[in-house]
Structure 1
């Protein structure tokens, strides 16, 4: 059983709840997202494994998950980046945002998301239980593909991509 950290709108801890219960109830909890860029400025995206309990088979950011109770956000991001993608690299917290989404099948996301950014240009070593595939993709191509095939991307990645653009981490003339 995996627990998530419940938070208020200012990211103050308010308790702990079992992860699936939190997703069925749609309660606000702490999460993180990792975005890695290669030397060409392309983003490393992962295709979620087909066995994931939600958003299976969809393209998303490099890595995302939830810190465990008592675990720091950076520590959690580094842990999951290694577990999902087999990558170790320097990460910097860039910003936070909050979002809600109805994922279907009675599941809801309501997350206070800490976004970490790093640089990595090699081939990842995928954990096939977590990620089915990967691609390095130029921001302009992502913008185009999000317009043409939004159903192929996770809900949170679409929001995260807009946040990256709005905050100047990605410059797109699309």
Structure 2
């Protein structure tokens, strides 16, 4: 079985090499990631609930999709690939910002990622990959913020770190 690789980077997003994905999460090594946010024409956010079989943060709500570019793959190509693989969607994606975060996860893993954040608009009905996604929902930002305040443990750590910043870009 081929083990998935991630792109190891420095704080300036300069590629240093590659590493097996689980090793990068067990022995926290900074690596490149992508997060995709889709909104519909009414401005509702498309969230996914991570499948229960995911290796971390399973069952938690998060942005439309997220993953890691493979060695030699651009962040935009990875974002488009994972949007199709996880949610069965296509959209014109625009990178809005990137940031670095380091947070402990369940299963003795740590996220230490330079995350490229993409935003797009789509009114397509998701065709979810049930190996990746348990459920999905559309939600207005104000309702999302209320739920986050009431139930923060229902959301992934990276989503909580960027939800307000993404909203600022969407309001422009």
State TM-score, norm by structure 2: 0.96
Structure 2 matches for 1:70-149, cutoff 5 A?
70-149=72-151
- How far the C-alpha of 1:121 sits from its partner, in A, is 1.5
| Ranges in structure 2 where 5+ consecutive residues have no aligned partner | none
Report the counterpart of residue 169 of structure 1 in structure 2. 169
Q: In the aligned structure 2, how far is the partner of 1:142 from the partner of 1:27?
A: 31
Contact 1:42–1:136 at 8 Å: present in 2 too?
Answer: yes
- How far the C-alpha of 1:170 sits from its partner, in A, is 4.4
- How far the C-alpha of 1:164 sits from its partner, in A, is 1.7
Contact 1:33–1:77 at 8 Å: present in 2 too?
Answer: yes
Q: In the aligned structure 1, how far is the partner of 2:23 from the partner of 2:29?
A: 9
- How far the C-alpha of 1:148 sits from its partner, in A, is 0.1
Q: In the aligned structure 2, how far is the partner of 1:34 from the partner of 1:143?
A: 18
State TM-score, norm by structure 1: 0.94
Report the counterpart of residue 55 of structure 1 in structure 2. 57
Contact 2:31–2:113 at 8 Å: present in 1 too?
Answer: yes
- How far the C-alpha of 1:49 sits from its partner, in A, is 0.4
Structure 1 SS opposite 2:103: strand
**Which of residues 35, 38, 60 is equivalent to 1:36?**
38
110-119 vs 97-106, greater mean Cα deviation? 97-106
Report the counterpart of residue 8 of structure 1 in structure 2. 10
How many residue pairs are counted as aligned between the two chains?
169
- How far the C-alpha of 1:26 sits from its partner, in A, is 1.0
Q: In the aligned structure 2, how far is the partner of 1:170 from the partner of 1:73?
A: 20
**Cα RMSD (Å):** 0.9
